[in-house]
A and B are shown apart, each in its own frame.
Chain A
Amino acid sequence: MSDPATVAPPKIVESVGVVLANDAYAGGQYILRLQAPEIAARAVPGSFVHLRCAPELPLRRPLSIMLRDQTKGWIDILYKVVGRGTAALAERQVGQQLPLLGPIGNGFSPAPRGSRPVLIGGGVGMPPMLLLASELRREPHFRPVLFLGSEVPFPFAPKPSEFMLDGLPPGVLATMPLLDDWGIPARLASGQGFAGCFDGLVTDLARAWLAQLDETARQSVHLYACGPTPMLRAVAELARGFDLPCQVSLEEHMACAIGGCAGCVVQVATPTGPAMKRVCVDGPVFDASTVF
C-alpha cells in the first residue's frame, strides 16, 4: 500500500508573523489572521504552522492553515481555547509579532481527474478542508462537496445554500457563505439544533448523501477529513463501508514539528507490520485505512 502523502513539502521557514486580526467567535473559537508572506506562498492544503503563542511559552503549538492569500501574504488560522497555549494566543493583539515555523507537513495528495472529492471537517478540524476546497475550486471538473460539523456555533453566519444536494432530510439547507460564493455545495451538521443544520453527526450527514448516489457516481468519490479522533474513526468506517479511498489529517502533541523528536507519532499499519509515524513530517495527512 502506498502512502498517499506524496506531495513533496516545501522548505520550512522560520519567520515572524504580524497579527492582522484575532477575532473571537462563540464557543471559545478565534480566527487569527497573520501576515506571513513566505508561508502563505508555500502552503499546501494540509499544511500547518508551529506557532509560539506567547513569549513565556517557548514550546510552539501546531495549527492548521485555513485560508491564505498569496497576493496579500496572509494566512488564517481557526483555533479554540483548550489550554495554556491557545489561551495565551487569544490574548494577542493586532500588530503583535508571533514567531512561527511553516508551512509544515505533507499535504493531501491530489485527487485523480474525474474523481469527486468529498470533504468532511469537524470543529477546529474544518480549516484543512477549507484550504483544500479553495484549491479544488480552481479546477471546476472536480465538483467537490463539503460537510462540516460543530458542537459550538460555527465561526461564520450560516445561510441557506443556493446548491441542491439530494438525499438529505428536509430543511437541511445551511451552508458556509464562502463556500456558496465559491460555487461549492456544502451542508452543516450539529447536535445542538442550529437552524438549517443536519441534526446529528457530520459523518451521518455525509453517509446520507453518499447513500443516494448511484454506484458509478459513488465509486468516483474520494474522502478527505479532519476533526476529532472519534469523527475520523467514523469517516474511516464510512470509507470502508463504501469502499472509498480516504485521507485524514491528524494531530498530536508536538515539540519540534520538524521530525527531530518523534514526539508526535501515530501507529500506522505498513506492509511490514505496525510502524510509528511522525504526524509532523510523515503526515499530518495519512491514508485512513492505515490508521483506523
Chain B
Amino acid sequence: MPDSICPVTALIRQLEETLHAGRMANPWNRRIIEEILDLLKDVAWGRAGADHLPAIKELAGSLRDEPLSTAGVETRRQVLAALAEHDEVFRSHVATHNCATRDCVKLAPAPCQMACPAGIDVPTYVSLIGLGRDAEAIEVIRRDNPFPWVCGLVCTRPCEFMCVRGRIDTPVSIKFLKAFAAERALSERRYKNPPQEPDKGQKVCVIGAGPGGLSAAYYLALKGYAVRVIEALPVSGGMIMVGIPRYRLPREVIDREVAMLQELGVEFRFNTRFGSDVTLADLKAEGFAAFFFAIGCHSAYKMGMPGEGDFPQVLDAIDILKRVALGDRTVPGKKAVIIGGGNVAIDAARTCLRLGSEEVTIAYRRTRSEMPADEEEVEQAEEEGVRLAFLTIPTGLTGVAGRLTGLQCLRAELVRKEGSSRMSPVPIADSDFVMAADVVIGAIGQRVDNSCMTGLQGLEWTRRSTIQVNMVTMETSIPGIFAAGDAVTGPATVIEAIGGGKRAADSIDRHLCGIPQPKMPPVPVRRGRVEYFEIPASTKMVLKRPEMPLLNIDRRRTTYQQVELGYSENDVREEARRCLRCDICLRCGKCVEVCRDKMGVNALQLGYFDFDHPVKTDFRITAERCITCGACAANCPTGAMQIEDREGERILSLCGTILNRQKLLFCDKCGATLGPARYLDFIRKKTGAVGPVSTDRRICDACARKESAKVNVDIMPV
C-alpha cells in the first residue's frame, strides 16, 4: 500500500473491488464485507465511535473460507493486516475527525488548521465568532491552546499565511478575531475551564513557566495530574512576560489567562531555579513521576566586538526587555543603537523610545528585504521614530574614560559568494565611520542557558546547543523527562511552544499510563462542523480585511499602553464572514471541471483552488453564466456546493456563499417545478433537434406526455 494513500480509503477501495469483481461466492462473506464497508465509511466520514474498530476486527475474523478460492482468507488477512499496520491512523480518524492525506474527503483538514503548530480548529472558531458565539469559540480554541488572548495579540499566525482567502485578496484576520473573542468572553465572565478528569494520583513537575511549560501544565492538570511549575523568575509567562514588551502584550492578559491554570490547581513556585534551589533528586524524592523542561532561550549571544566588555553601556536586548518588564524604567541612554534585524531588535528599539531615549537607531548588516523582523513591527517602529541603518556592519566601540561614545561601523554591500545562493554583506573598503551612541544594545540572537541542567546525566544536546528530543513525543534521551519550547527549537514562536507543550502533555500521560507512544506527529482534531452562514457572492467579494486602529503616536512614543486597539464588534463579525470554510470545501476542483468540461458552461471562476498558481477569483461571475443545472453540486464530494429550491427560487451556494439564485418556473398544468428559465433554455437548445416544442406553454414532462398521448390517440385511430 503506497504511503501517500490513506489506509482507510485504501482498504475501502480494496473491499469494494473485491465485492464488485465477484470474488466472494459465499453470501455470508459478502454480507460481512458489506458490513465492514459500512463501518469503514463511518470512519472515513467522521461518524465512527470507539466501538467501530473492534467491531471491524471482529467482523473480519468471522469471514469464512471460500469453497473454491482463497478470497475469504485473503480478505480476512488484508483487513486485519491493515488495522494492525496502520492502527494509529485508523484511531486518529476516529478521534480527530481529520484525515491528513485528504483522501477521506469529508475529513480533509483546513489549511489554516494544518498550519497551526497547536492544531487549533480555526474554521470552527472563526465561524462561531461570526455567529457572535465568542465564549464557544474560546472553548474550541482552548481545546488546543490555553492562551487564546495572548496568541490573539502576539502570535506569528502561520494560519494566516496559509489562509486560502489570501489567494483571493488578503487572509482572514484570524489572530485579531481570536483576541476579540477572548477579551469579550473574559469580560462577560464566560471564559471557563473545561471539566478536569478524575485525579490520577500522580505528580508531574514542569520546569519553566513560559508558554511551553504553562501549556503542558494546563493539559496535564486537565488530565488529572497534580502539577507543580517551577520558575526562576518572580512572575509567570517566561518570554511572553519578560521578552515581549507591554505595549504589545499587556501584563493583565497574561495574568488573567495564567489564573485559569491556578483555578485548575496548578501550583507555582516562583524565584526557584532548577539545579541550584531544587534538584532532580529533590523532586523525585517528593514523588514527582515525570518532568517537563521548558526553560526557554534566555541567554544572549555576545557580539564579539573589541571593547564589548569595557563599557557598562553595552547591553543585551533581552536583558533590557526583562528589566523593563519587571518594572525598571531607567533611561538606557540618550542615543541608543541596537544591533540586529529581528523582532527582539525592534522591541528593544521601541522600548528605548518609550523609556526616553532621544535618538534610537537600528544597525543592520543587510537590507530591509532581508530583515527577519515582522513587517508590521518594523513599520510601527519607523512611525514612532526609530531610524533604520541598513548595510551597516558594527566593528567596534569607542569611548572616553570608560564611558561609551560611539559605535564604529563599516558600510557594506550585498555580494553573492562563490558556491552559495546566499547574499552576504561584505564591507566596503575605507567606508568606516562612527555612529554616535551612549548605549549599544546587542540583539543578535539567544541561546539556551543550560547551566541549570548540567546535573542531568545522560541528557543529549544538539549541535545548536538545544535539548535533543524526539519531536513526535518530545521525550528527551532520559526516560520520563520531556522538553519543548525554545529550549528544544531554539528561539521560536509562542504558538510552537504551546503546541510542543500540548504534545508533551499527551506523551507524559501515555508514559505514566503505560500506553505506547505515537510514531508520527499528531493530526489536528476537528472540534466541530459549524453550520455556515449565507452571504451573497457580492458581499463575499467586497468585504475587506479591516485596518487595525492604533494608539496615537504621542502615546506610543511615551507610554507602554497597548498600541493595537482591537477591532470593533462589527468589524469582527464581518471579517469572520470572509472565511471560505476550507474545513468543508477541500478545493478539489470537481465543480469547476464538470461545469466547464462536461456542461460547457464555465460559470465557476474559482482561481484560489491552486496553491502554487492561484488565478483570479470572482464569485459574482457565476450568476452571469450559471444555468443552475446542479451538476457541480451533484459532483461535490463534501457537500460544500449545494443547490436547493426555496421560496420560488433555485439557489446555488458554495459553503454558504450564494453564487446564483434564479426564479423557478412551474408547470402550467400541474404546478410541478420545471426549473429556472435559463436552465430550461439550455435544455431546449440541447434537445431542440429531437423535437420542437409545439406551444409556448410551459409544462412538465409528465403533462407533456399526457398531452401528446391524447393527440396521438386523436389523430391516429387504432
| Bind each other | no
Chain A residues in the interface with B (C-beta under 8 A): none
Chain B residues in the interface with A (C-beta under 8 A): none
